[in-house]
């Protein structure tokens, strides 16, 4: 009898680990998002936390190979406790000013887990996973340089530091460098592409536009404010689907948050490499771009992030966004192209 019990015990422990609520990962991802959103470096904090969570969960369930870190004995550890401990440790490191909120969330989480060896082991696994991830990424921000405005000597420039200046200097998770996927340069100010796109963005992007559809307006406003919570909302919709398992969810969140963080690094590297006009600046300086295109006093449909450089958009995460700040009424665009472009809703402000 005892021999049978001993033989079945490992399988029972594995069942317990896999039987952990798959949504414990999504629950803590939501909590981390809520807390991190009040601190600095929201996206990076999310990526660090979710990667620590994945390593902790996988150490217990052993669903995937332990190819990145060995966290030591984890058999019988509570997955719920490990997820809570890993999340807490990363948040305390990355947002210490929010300690009260972090500890309150952690205390509530532990109160739902029975005290005992499983909880204690789970906490230990979670803390070791967080320590490993934080150590591996402790030098990600070592190359940050002070911001220096691009201006002629003696010319006044605003003293406010632009949004995202340092993000493009972060060490990437997977890319060889932040510039690996840098898009090509913007079009020349005297090119047909500049003239065409200038017309497009002025016509579609104006707050008083008569060619933009109501649907396009809603799309523009949505993407102007929808990061990163909307992206994680999409992940949550997958993670809370039927037949999900806790390690798969942890792996999903780890991959997506790291990819979003990687994208943020790539996008801002391109923005500050080119230091190019934002669309609103281009429109208001249309009489100075070599084509002498006058502008009318009408603001954009959205004034999101006026202190960012435009080179590529964070929302679209695509080099194709070079189309956005360009063109002039002195070069007409065929109506068929106008209609197609209007239908596409290229509403970058």
**229 vs 91, which has greater pLDDT?**
91
Give the confidence band of 219 by pLDDT, cuts at 50, 70, 90.
confident
Give the confidence band of 340 by pLDDT, cuts at 50, 70, 90.
very low
**47 vs 320, which has greater pLDDT?**
47
16 and 131 co-located in one domain: yes
109 and 196 co-located in one domain: no
Return the structure tokens found at 334.
């065929």
Instruction: Count structural domains, the chain.
Output: 2
Residue 106: the pLDDT is: 97
Residue 295: the pLDDT is: 53
Domain assignment present for 175: no
Give the confidence band of 247 by pLDDT, cuts at 50, 70, 90.
very high
307 and 192 co-located in one domain: yes
Domain assignment present for 255: no
Is 120's pLDDT higher than 90?
yes
Residue % of the chain over a pLDDT of 70: 75
Residue 146: the pLDDT is: 81
Give the confidence band of 349 by pLDDT, cuts at 50, 70, 90.
very low
329 and 198 co-located in one domain: yes
Mean pLDDT, residues 224-247 taken together: 84
Mean pLDDT, residues 29-52 taken together: 88
Give the confidence band of 118 by pLDDT, cuts at 50, 70, 90.
very high
Give the confidence band of 18 by pLDDT, cuts at 50, 70, 90.
very low
Residue 143: the pLDDT is: 77
Domain assignment present for 254: no
Domain closes at, from 117, 136, 155: 136
Domain closes at, from 114, 136, 158: 136
Q: How far is CA 170 from CA 6, 135, 183, 272, in A?
A: 50, 15, 18, 13
Residue 180: the pLDDT is: 93
Domain closes at, from 136, 167, 196: 136
pLDDT, tens only, 173-212 = 889 999 999 999 999 988 899 889 888 988 888 888 899 9
Give the confidence band of 324 by pLDDT, cuts at 50, 70, 90.
very low
**303 vs 233, which has greater pLDDT?**
233
Domain assignment present for 213: yes
Residue % of the chain over a pLDDT of 90: 39
80 and 218 co-located in one domain: no
Mean pLDDT, residues 329-334 taken together: 32
pLDDT, tens only, 74-97 = 889 999 999 999 999 999 999 999
CA distance 88 to 80: 12
Domain assignment present for 160: no
Domain assignment present for 155: no
Is 132's pLDDT higher than 90?
yes
Is 7's pLDDT higher than 80?
no
202 and 333 co-located in one domain: yes
Q: What average pLDDT is seen over the chain?
A: 78
322 and 208 co-located in one domain: yes
Domain assignment present for 173: no
126 and 12 co-located in one domain: yes
325 and 215 co-located in one domain: yes
Is 215's pLDDT higher than 60?
yes
90 and 12 co-located in one domain: yes
Domain assignment present for 164: no
Of 51-55, 142-146, 244-248, 279-283, the poorest mean pLDDT is in: 142-146
Is 16's pLDDT higher than 90?
no
Q: Which domain holds residue 84?
A: 2-136
Give the confidence band of 334 by pLDDT, cuts at 50, 70, 90.
very low
206 and 338 co-located in one domain: yes
């Amino acid at each position: 009898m005892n021999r049978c019990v001993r033989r079945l015990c490992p399988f029972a422990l594995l069942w317990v680990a896999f039987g952990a609520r798959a949504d414990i990962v999504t629950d803590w991802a939501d909590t981390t998002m809520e807390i991190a959103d009040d601190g600095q470096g929201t996206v990076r904090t999310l990526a660090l936390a979710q990667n620590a969570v994945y390593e902790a969960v996988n150490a217990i369930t052993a669903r995937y190979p332990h190819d990145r870190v060995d966290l030591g004995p984890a058999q019988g550890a509570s997955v719920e406790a490990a997820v809570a401990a890993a999340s807490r440790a990363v948040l305390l490191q990355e947002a210490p000013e929010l300690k009260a909120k972090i500890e309150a969330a952690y205390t509530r989480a532990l109160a739902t887990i029975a005290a005992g060896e499983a909880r204690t082991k789970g906490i230990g696994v979670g803390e070791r996973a967080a320590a490993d991830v934080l150590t591996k990424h402790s030098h990600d921000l070592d190359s940050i340089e002070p911001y220096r405005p691009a201006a002629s000597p003696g010319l006044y420039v605003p003293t406010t530091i632009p949004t995202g200046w340092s993000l493009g200097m972060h060490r990437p998770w997977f890319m060889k460098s932040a510039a690996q996927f840098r898009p090509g340069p913007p079009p020349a100010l005297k090119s047909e592409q500049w003239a065409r796109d200038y017309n497009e963005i002025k016509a579609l992007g104006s707050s008083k536009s008569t060619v933009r559809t109501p649907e396009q307006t809603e799309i523009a406003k949505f993407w102007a404010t929808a990061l990163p919570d909307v992206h994680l909302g999409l992940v949550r919709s997958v993670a809370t689907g039927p037949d999900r398992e806790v390690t798969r969810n942890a792996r999903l969140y780890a991959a997506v948050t790291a990819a979003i963080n990687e994208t943020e690094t790539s996008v801002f590297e391109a923005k500050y490499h080119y230091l190019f006009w934002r669309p609103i600046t281009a429109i208001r300086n249309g009489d100075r771009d070599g084509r002498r295109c006058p502008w009318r006093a009408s603001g954009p449909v959205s004034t999101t992030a006026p202190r960012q450089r435009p080179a590529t958009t964070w929302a679209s995460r695509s080099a194709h966004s070079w189309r956005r700040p360009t063109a002039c009424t002195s070069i007409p665009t065929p109506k068929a192209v106008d209609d197609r472009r209007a239908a596409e809703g290229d509403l970058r402000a």
